[in-house]
Structure 1
């Protein structure tokens, strides 16, 4: 008998919503906070790849709840960002309108899966009630500085007070070089001069920097939004451009970000990515004298060397395009080439690119030896000095660069044999002692000093977009001032044209975007007089601003007085389990960790790290389809012809197409293709053996690759429980796996078999008699196995355990309540709809979500042996038996097994081979 999943699932979704079953309140129970990484509500909706994380979190949330924990499992939307703005540019529809529509679609899809999210806590970053607090936090960051002595952020007023009272010296936060002045000088500084000093300290500051500029999108892009010099969205060219931008001084927290990784349960691969992103570099800075000085101010270059003992292998010096000398260091004959490079270079560290400036520095220890100066971004340059010394005999990247530009370099350089070229004072020393000796020489000759620095750079915080959080800043004589906190939020003004222009945010078109300082309100731009009415910042925050602290707001989403009350924060503290893709391993996680540490420094949260544990689910893969097209011609080439001589002179481009245009065996349905793409109705198709073959590739599911599978269709055909179990059954949750819905029927059949354990001739039937020892043994082995596998998130093998258990109980025709009722509790986190229905039939009044999960009784844990079941020497499935079971009992069980009986209806059993404690082989 098949259970009616359509009616059952529809009923229980309504029941959960009506009774607020998943709503969470603070209680005396032990808390457990589970969180999915913030989803963006795209117009395409969910595909099955997105669903995996939600299903994993839901299973674990339901499981922990059944173990007595008070579960917080919230959901919301990262609703600001470039996709919505681009859609607004294309259609003229306001991003708020399309975003709201997309959020409704996402919510319906998620609810259709039976996910136990507490929707009463829903937040979205484009809600002014939410971004009011993002703006508040920005102001706090702006009004803070990082005290390196105490390793924490402090209010900027404490620094100003120090300058006013003592002011005998300060450390320039951007270069770590000491500057001196006294309090009398500070107090005589003009407002603008004081602000220029404070900008070296503020955690949010304005500075000109070279950015990734995309003219077609009209905005600055982060590195992870670019691939091969083009924008990820739209594939538009990206160029370098120097612009005044807001930054957050994340580099100040570099050491704490590194140390924190030792106290969190993150995957090792994720930790390594963060270690490499931040990268602590211990070495020396060297002041190198420039050979041809192009200005009285430019006489020396301060550069970083990671291994000072290797200084005699020095072959070249690299300046970052962002280095303040990059446009000034070139000699007259090389200036044009340098300027051209600075305009066009792409930030791709896998491509060797650079330009010789025509200038040199003198080697600090080899008399009259000149070292060429290049400008390049091929290297991870020091964040402070933005320069590095190239040592080809030691560093692979330096060697590649030297070979690219045909630079002669020393290849004999050995610590093992203690050989140091051109160095009398290093010969005979080991690496450690040589390092120490060089630093001593640098200090002695006043050429440098030991230094610790980090690769991580301060984050650019400006975007030339409309659809983002307004930055609560106005400008008076070009000096930034914060808008009073009591006037937050500063809400996005309504505009009609969302196109950026000449590097300006669309907000420059807003008619009412000026700050009246006297009346403390936003007024028309026509009133700007630079006396009491001033322009407001037109750039907006990046999308990661709101997603850097959203997990805190879930704890207290309806608080109008504060972003998070102490009472709620003391209860929930931080996220116990954070689930999401590995693509967020660096950017998002580092930004969130920085943001959280800042809030901790200022006393607004009490924990050092926001996330105790991170679990990265693997990707769901599917075959994409690509056709070969000759560039700039309306001609397509069958994939097998690409190497033929006749076509070798052409350049090709691969074009993704939807898989429904394929007949079979990668053959393109040309008529369907022409109908679907009117642009190519007159295209020429070169066939091979009478057909057109496409390139099929197993890739991550993506709308851009046209290889997504809609979960709505799967749920409609098979049911939400079947879909949930199948996604988990595909493979280990942390590994990538191929989507193949041809095998989904096996899960559907399993759920039908589970349903039939409780039904006889279509009628619900449960026996109240006392179970046998064998039945108790099966039950408690299942309980024990599931609890152990949940600890390691081995969810796919738990599904296998359920299958084995159901097969065993079916084979012995078990319908006893004391066995089956605990089985329902065990399967409820995985297949909640069918579990709720059976729970109700068992006479239970409350939802099964409030029941306690069974615990194992060791007395019933008789040792069992698992046998692989082979059909003609091929593994089909496994079965487990009591260790002391006889061969005859195994034989009877196998011959009466439903799967085997079904198979033998069409086949003749030739031989049954049972090798004790090893295998069972059925020959037919």
Structure 2
């Protein structure tokens, strides 16, 4: 067969499309597999990262489909977000038009790869119907108390009149206008993910077998459960007077109560209410106020990377155990989001606190003695024995922690608490291209949700996006509405949802037949059949936010009665990046490879084969032009060699014992490849090893000339390679076997029974020869042939011992 990839790929893609070849069955009695790759953002063009992600998922889906499973393998579009608004500003095109034109183009690109997606279940997260059900879920979460409003400090560009994401703040300035960004307290909506913190942490155990340990560790660290002591620092009398008696104390939390006698200062976040009071009442010098305001203008991420800075607030608190005054500072490393924005500082035993104390010449008090002597040059952070700690001196750190917490609780001045680093999820975005938050502000009734029957609250199309302010807020009519409760004049919420809201439940939408999409977000019976996702494929960059939010949503939707499952994804594969010249492909580096050009030159099967052969999916893949050529040559040879086969509808029946040595070896290599296939789909997905085994089998077939062995070999190899190079395999399977080979194939153990074995012959432990003998050979005959093969090393020697190890060696001991 001559290999013409463009012709046969067009043929089979058309056939698959016309026959709805990859739609899942509605028969829920069948064994199922739900295979899902993370849905893409419609940026305009696919890149090699997309090719790798979707080829991996497609190979897994095709394997299970031909093995008789009912397979759900869908695709959709994560289509809301900032890039569409940026395009609107840059090119003067409406975000909706830009988004859906990109979807149309990228859909064709993905189709050209021969991906076996369900076409009927495709949707975009920006579809109004998806928004309708998303808003319904939001309202149900609000009614359950899982949504609330609060004010938080956000990045604000006064020039553009808009909130900026952390990624849009570059060196303290707006990425668009390059003017300074300030931190502004703005109201927003939050989801109570913290209510599920412990369950999210506990259920990581359920994922140990199916998820990479690295991802689970990242999630555990992000949730950040810690046990410790919470207590209040009481302000000194003079400090309370300075603050106009508006504040008496503030709370702090520590995981190291054993170090409490080492406290030498306390630090507040620049946004702490006490700091704000000092600034607003001008109780600090202008220089200090300016310094603090500068800290406030820097986002949390940049602060974490910045040098430690602080300002003395000229107030004190009372140490709860020693009664001594402790100076209070404002420090840029203290974040208002964590621990109430206040910390106790122990420079002798905390590196960050030490660095700050050294810089500002604050006291450093040792309270723990460790095997590493404390000389004041660095903090000693390990556990040890308490010193300079009053009645607790001499206790080990662990014992002291319990004793000090018990003391605080007995005196009613503190308590043992469990804290989490995890914070509630702020979903408000002051942007146009997102799902509107379905809440209404009524002067009489307050904040109320829209009525379910009035959903969706759709975006207006007649907006002008200039990058200044929120277009929904500026729209002359859209936000004006009636209160669902009292029917009085009211105003719509103009914030839109974080796009992670859409991607946190999209996998559930796919489980349901599109005929039901108008009525429900997803059908419970269908979801209970298809869930969990059996294999999820995506980049490790989503290890925390997307994957954690999806786990949270699944638990919330379970509690709302939508599903029965606790976790969304049973197994997770995080594929490595595609590199070129040693670095990640990017337009700025000029090292991108256009998938369209590769497909046009070599065909989709070559692109798929290279992507899966070049490296295991979890590892980084280095692009190699010559290896792409090599993949094409292999497929060309594979097609041409099929001329050695005869057509048949069942696997050929072969009398193995009557074959020549080369034919027996060829069969062995073919069935080794079949065994390898069964192994890799158990979870390693090392397609490179399967492809290598298939290449070895083809080489072995080429060393013999039995037509039946050739035909059996292709019957099996086309089955094994179909998930990887589907177009060519369907073409040859159709012409040779009527596609009767694309079913489960049993392994014939007879091919692994060896007629002969290789024995190494050693003299005094040193290998001198190698002989091939029949496996049924007697010990005596094997020793005779072995001695015969090393005659020259035995001449003039006395034979002391003969050792025979079947299937391995003969050792002759002489002197």
Normalised to the residue count of structure 2, the TM-score between the two structures is 0.83
Deviations 1:224-276 (A, max 9, x none): 66676577899987542221111112122111111111111211111111111
User: Is the 1:36–1:578 Cα contact (8 Å) retained in structure 2?
Assistant: yes
Q: 1:71 to 1:420 in 2, by over 3 A?
A: same
Does the alignment pair 1:56 with 2:56? yes
Q: What SS is found at the alignment partner of 1:297? A: coil
Q: 1:71 to 1:806 in 2, by over 3 A?
A: same
Q: What SS is found at the alignment partner of 1:288? A: strand
| Correspondence for 1:455 among 409, 421, 436 | 421
Q: 1:882 to 1:21 in 2, by over 3 A?
A: farther
Deviation of the 1:598 alpha carbon:
0.9
Which residue in the other structure is 2:454 paired with? 487
Deviation of the 1:109 alpha carbon:
0.8
| Correspondence for 2:705 among 804, 813, 827 | 813
User: Is the 1:286–1:448 Cα contact (8 Å) retained in structure 2?
Assistant: yes
Deviation of the 1:845 alpha carbon:
6.2
Does the alignment pair 1:825 with 2:719? yes
Which residue in the other structure is 2:264 paired with? 315
Q: What SS is found at the alignment partner of 2:120? A: helix
Q: 1:295 to 1:52 in 2, by over 3 A?
A: farther
Q: What SS is found at the alignment partner of 1:32? A: strand
Which residue in the other structure is 1:172 paired with? none
**397-406 or 29-38, which moves further after superposition?**
397-406
Q: What SS is found at the alignment partner of 2:30? A: coil
User: Is the 2:539–2:576 Cα contact (8 Å) retained in structure 1?
Assistant: yes
Deviation of the 1:582 alpha carbon:
0.6
Deviations 1:14-38 (A, max 9, x none): 1110111011123221111111112
Which residue in the other structure is 1:431 paired with? 397
| Correspondence for 1:505 among 459, 465, 470 | 470
Which residue in the other structure is 2:584 paired with? 700
Deviations 1:746-778 (A, max 9, x none): 111211221122115xx9778967363434322
> Partners in 2 of 1:774 and 1:38 — Cα distance?
44
Deviation of the 1:802 alpha carbon:
1.3
User: Is the 1:32–1:576 Cα contact (8 Å) retained in structure 2?
Assistant: yes
Deviation of the 1:862 alpha carbon:
3.9
Deviation of the 1:420 alpha carbon:
2.7
Deviations 1:340-363 (A, max 9, x none): 322345532222344323333222
Deviation of the 1:463 alpha carbon:
0.8
Deviation of the 1:278 alpha carbon:
1.0
User: Is the 1:577–1:615 Cα contact (8 Å) retained in structure 2?
Assistant: yes
Q: 1:358 to 1:223 in 2, by over 3 A?
A: same
Q: 1:472 to 1:79 in 2, by over 3 A?
A: same
| Correspondence for 2:215 among 244, 266, 270 | 270
> Partners in 1 of 2:57 and 2:110 — Cα distance?
12
Q: What SS is found at the alignment partner of 1:55? A: helix
Deviation of the 1:316 alpha carbon:
2.9
Q: What SS is found at the alignment partner of 1:703? A: coil
> Partners in 2 of 1:311 and 1:236 — Cα distance?
43
Which residue in the other structure is 1:856 paired with? 747
Does the alignment pair 1:723 with 2:607? yes
User: Is the 2:369–2:386 Cα contact (8 Å) retained in structure 1?
Assistant: yes
Which residues in structure 2 correspond to 1:585-600 (within 5 Å)?
A: 585-600=543-558
Deviations 1:289-348 (A, max 9, x none): 123121323110101111111112223323334433341256423444323322345532
In structure 2, the gaps of 5 or more residues are: 372-382, 759-771, 778-806, 810-815
Deviation of the 1:380 alpha carbon:
6.9
Which residue in the other structure is 2:229 paired with? 284
> Partners in 2 of 1:362 and 1:764 — Cα distance?
92
Does the alignment pair 1:835 with 2:729? yes
Q: 1:611 to 1:324 in 2, by over 3 A?
A: farther
Deviation of the 1:384 alpha carbon:
5.1
> Partners in 2 of 1:883 and 1:757 — Cα distance?
32
User: Is the 1:326–1:375 Cα contact (8 Å) retained in structure 2?
Assistant: no
Deviation of the 1:709 alpha carbon:
0.9
Deviation of the 1:809 alpha carbon:
0.9
Which residue in the other structure is 1:337 paired with? 291
| Correspondence for 1:709 among 593, 602, 608 | 593
Deviations 1:612-658 (A, max 9, x none): 111100000123xxxxxxxxxxxxxxxxxxxxxxxxxxxxxxxxxxx
Q: RCO (CA 8 Å, sep 6+): is it higher in 1 or 2?
A: 2
Q: 1:217 to 1:779 in 2, by over 3 A?
A: farther
**582-591 or 703-712, which moves further after superposition?**
703-712
Deviations 1:72-95 (A, max 9, x none): 100000110000011112222211
Does the alignment pair 1:440 with 2:406? yes
Does the alignment pair 1:779 with 2:724? no
User: Is the 2:89–2:465 Cα contact (8 Å) retained in structure 1?
Assistant: yes
Deviation of the 1:135 alpha carbon:
0.6
Which residue in the other structure is 1:84 paired with? 84
Q: 1:39 to 1:248 in 2, by over 3 A?
A: same
Deviations 1:696-724 (A, max 9, x none): xx321233443221111111111111110
Which residue in the other structure is 2:307 paired with? 352
> Partners in 1 of 2:638 and 2:181 — Cα distance?
56
Q: What SS is found at the alignment partner of 2:459? A: coil
Q: Figure out how many residues of one structure are paired with residues of the other and give that number.
A: 727
**440-449 or 797-806, which moves further after superposition?**
440-449
Q: What SS is found at the alignment partner of 1:328? A: helix
In structure 1, the gaps of 5 or more residues are: 146-202, 522-529, 624-697, 868-880, 887-915, 919-924
Which residue in the other structure is 1:409 paired with? 364
